[in-house]
Amino acid sequence: MSELQLKTKEAGYAIASLGDLRDFEGKIFVKDVVETTGVEISFGSLSEGQCVPFNHKHKQNEEVYIIVKGKGVFTLDGKDYEVASGDVIRIAPEVVRTNRNTGKGVFSYICIQSKAGSLEQYTMTDGIILQ
Ligand code: ZN
Pick the residue with more confidence: 84 or 120?
Answer: 84
Quick check: is 26 in a domain? yes
Q: Is residue 65 part of a domain?
A: yes
Interval between CA 63 and ligand 1 midpoint (Å): 7
> For 72-86, what is the mean pLDDT?
98
Residue 57 C-alpha to ligand 1 middle, in angstroms?
6
Q: Is residue 126 part of a domain?
A: no
Q: Number of structural domains, the chain?
A: 1
The per-residue pLDDT of the chain, averaged, comes to 95
Residue 101 clears pLDDT 80, i.e. is over it = yes
**30 DSSP β-pair partners:** none
The yes-or-no verdict on residue 1 having pLDDT over 80 is no
The rounded distance, in Å, linking the Cα atoms of 81 and 50 is 16
Using CA atoms, how far residue 88 sits from 9, 10, 34, in Å, is: 30, 32, 23
Domain membership of residue 105 as a residue range: 5-117
Name beta bridge partners: 110.
43, 66
Least confident interval from 57-61, 81-85, 108-112, 121-125: 121-125
Ligand 1 centre from 122 Cα, in Å? 23
CA of 49 to the centre of ligand 1 (A): 20
In a domain, 75, yes or no: yes
> Looking at the domain assignment, is residue 110 inside a domain?
yes
